[in-house]
């Protein structure tokens, strides 16, 4: 089963920390972009053969996909259904920013076929939201969440960010508690990365905002996971927790060696060990589709070693870890003889647990996942 990712690169304003592929909203460009996106989906469907391959997840990511109208979203989902055999119970997610939605637009998204919303809340403290130059405040985020429930969304996720400038452990846990009080089905908890040359880095230098020390960020991560587990959420991935059965089916494809098409500017695709990325610039993407050209850059067939490394790298993000027996069989290797020497020190430090069938990161290991993963890259 395929996943279909749709990139919507428009935002009402550009946040000071953001390094995603996005630009400022432009109504005319958006109209042309949606047309191009539909054309690209149609091309891929034809290439996949008549009747199309089957897909069971669709994911609108961005940017700010909630800047699309219900009609545009319906047209894009319709194009996916025309080009692929989209299963009746497909998970159809749309990322939404709280300030962009109303009861009416949420109902329109529901009517268009979206059945899962992922709200970019980031914090339940107004001061932190201001530091991130987000357009919404805490009350707007809560109202958007309630409106989504009223519009009939039974599967709602919230994104929160820790390690924000000036944030202390108890500030972070305040946001986690506010999220728990809303009772979402799913939560993603990310650590802020402050990129070089980002306006946020300049603001931090100018206004003397600093990030908490490493020990505090470890405490933030661990305490929030424990608090969420205590009220019935299950951590299933380094940064993701859900109610039982409410894991992100789409994102699981990325972590379980799955296949997906990425449509839109800058989107990545991986199908059967072949990987490609579309041109990043929105205008160029639209122009290519307008000229009936492929928006894809160079296609790269991954070597077996690269596929093995990727499979391990991504599976270790999951709390259940990597099914080593399965991976050994799939890639006809003995992964421990290949990587064991480099991994042994992580086992000794209690960051990685290794049995005959499974390798999994411990919670302290998840905090240092990057170090462990470099073994596979």
φ and ψ at residue 296, rounded to 5 degrees = -80, 140
Q: Which residue is nearest to ligand SF4 (CB)?
A: 18
Q: CB under 6 A: which stretch of 60-68, 156-164, 195-203, 322-330 binds ligand SF4?
A: 60-68
In angstroms, rounded to a whole number, what is the distance separating the alpha carbons of residues 293 and 374?
Answer: 37
Closest CA to 91 of 231, 180, 185: 185
The one among 45, 52, 61, 63 contacting ligand SF4 by CB under 6 A: 63
Size of the site for ligand SF4 (CB under 6 A): 11
CB of 61 or CB of 184, closer to ligand SF4: 61
11 lies in the site for ligand SF4, by CB under 6 A: yes
Please check whether residue 73 is in contact with residue 94, taking contact to mean a CB–CB distance below 8 angstroms.
Answer: yes
Torsion of CA 301, 305, 307, 308, to 10 degrees: 170
Minimum separation from the CB atom of position 95 to ligand SF4 (A): 8
Q: What b/e sequence results for 337-359 when a residue is b if at least 16 CB atoms lie within 10 Å of its CB, and e otherwise?
A: ebbeeebeebeeeebbebeeeeb
Tokens representing 306 are: 């690269």
269 lies in the site for ligand SF4, by CB under 6 A: no
62 lies in the site for ligand SF4, by CB under 6 A: yes
Q: Site mask, ligand SF4, residues 83-102, x = CB under 6 A?
A: --------------x-----
CB of 129 or CB of 212, closer to ligand SF4: 129
CB of 14 or CB of 207, closer to ligand SF4: 14
In angstroms, rounded to a whole number, what is the distance separating the alpha carbons of residues 344 and 340?
Answer: 6
Under DSSP, the state recorded for 318 is: B
Q: Site mask, ligand SF4, residues 34-53, x = CB under 6 A?
A: --------------------
Q: CB under 6 A: which stretch of 13-21, 71-79, 218-226, 294-302 binds ligand SF4?
A: 13-21
In angstroms, rounded to a whole number, what is the distance separating the alpha carbons of residues 319 and 323?
Answer: 11
Q: Site mask, ligand SF4, residues 115-154, x = CB under 6 A?
A: -----x----------------------------------
In angstroms, rounded to a whole number, what is the distance separating the alpha carbons of residues 19 and 30?
Answer: 20
Minimum separation from the CB atom of position 86 to ligand SF4 (A): 26
74 lies in the site for ligand SF4, by CB under 6 A: no
Could you tell me where the beta strands, DSSP code E, fall in 217-335? 234-237, 240-242, 260-263, 268-271, 274-277, 300-301, 322-323
The one among 64, 118, 235, 278 contacting ligand SF4 by CB under 6 A: 64
In angstroms, rounded to a whole number, what is the distance separating the alpha carbons of residues 348 and 339?
Answer: 15
In angstroms, rounded to a whole number, what is the distance separating the alpha carbons of residues 125 and 148?
Answer: 21
In angstroms, rounded to a whole number, what is the distance separating the alpha carbons of residues 329 and 249?
Answer: 24
Minimum separation from the CB atom of position 33 to ligand SF4 (A): 15
Please check whether residue 10 is in contact with residue 23, taking contact to mean a CB–CB distance below 8 angstroms.
Answer: yes
14 lies in the site for ligand SF4, by CB under 6 A: yes
7 lies in the site for ligand SF4, by CB under 6 A: no
The one among 7, 22, 317, 360 contacting ligand SF4 by CB under 6 A: 22
321 lies in the site for ligand SF4, by CB under 6 A: no
φ and ψ at residue 274, rounded to 5 degrees = -110, 135
Minimum separation from the CB atom of position 18 to ligand SF4 (A): 3
In angstroms, rounded to a whole number, what is the distance separating the alpha carbons of residues 312 and 294?
Answer: 31
CB of 258 or CB of 264, closer to ligand SF4: 264
18 lies in the site for ligand SF4, by CB under 6 A: yes
CB of 63 or CB of 184, closer to ligand SF4: 63
Q: What crossing angle do the helices spanning 138-150 and 103-112 adopt, rounded to 10°?
A: 50
| Interacting residues toward ligand SF4 by CB under 6 A | 11, 14-15, 18, 20, 22, 62-64, 97, 120
């Amino acid at each position: 089963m395929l996943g279909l990712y749709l990139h919507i690169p428009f935002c009402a304003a550009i946040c000071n920390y953001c390094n995603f592929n996005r630009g400022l909203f432009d109504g005319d460009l958006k109209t042309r972009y949606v047309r191009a996106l539909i054309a690209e989906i149609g091309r891929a469907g034809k290439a996949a053969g008549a009747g199309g391959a089957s897909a069971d997840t669709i994911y609108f990511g961005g940017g700010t996909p909630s800047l699309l109208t219900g009609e545009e979203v319906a047209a894009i989902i319709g194009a996916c259904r025309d080009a692929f055999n989209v299963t009746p119970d497909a998970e159809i997610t749309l990322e939404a920013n709280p300030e962009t939605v109303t009861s009416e637009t949420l109902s329109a998204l529901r009517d268009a076929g979206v059945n899962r919303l992922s709200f970019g809340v980031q914090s339940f403290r107004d001061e932190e939201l201001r530091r991130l130059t987000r357009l919404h405040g805490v009350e707007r985020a809560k109202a958007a969440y309630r409106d989504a429930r009223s519009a009939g969304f039974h599967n709602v996720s919230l994104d929160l960010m820790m390690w924000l400038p000036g944030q202390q452990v108890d500030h972070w846990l305040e946001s986690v508690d506010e999220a728990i009080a809303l009772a979402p089905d799913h939560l993603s908890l990310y650590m802020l990365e402050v990129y070089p040359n980002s306006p946020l880095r300049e603001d931090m230098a100018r206004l003397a905002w600093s990030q908490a020390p490493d020990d505090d960020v470890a405490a933030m991560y661990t305490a929030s996971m424990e608090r969420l587990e205590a009220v019935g959420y299950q951590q299933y991935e380094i940064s993701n927790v859900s109610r039982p059965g409410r894991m992100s089916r789409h994102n699981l494809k990325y972590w379980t060696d799955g296949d997906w098409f990425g449509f839109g500017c800058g989107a990545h695709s991986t199908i059967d060990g072949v990987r490609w990325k579309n041109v990043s610039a929105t205008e160029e993407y639209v122009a290519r589709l307008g000229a009936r050209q492929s928006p894809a850059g160079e296609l790269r067939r991954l070597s077996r070693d690269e596929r093995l490394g990727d499979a391990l790298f991504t599976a270790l993000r999951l709390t259940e870890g990597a099914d080593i027996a399965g991976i050994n069989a799939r890639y006809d290797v003995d992964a421990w003889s290949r990587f064991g020497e480099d991994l042994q020190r992580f086992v000794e430090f209690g960051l990685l647990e290794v049995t005959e069938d499974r390798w999994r990161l411990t919670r302290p290991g998840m905090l240092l996942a990057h170090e462990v993963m470099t073994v596979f890259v």
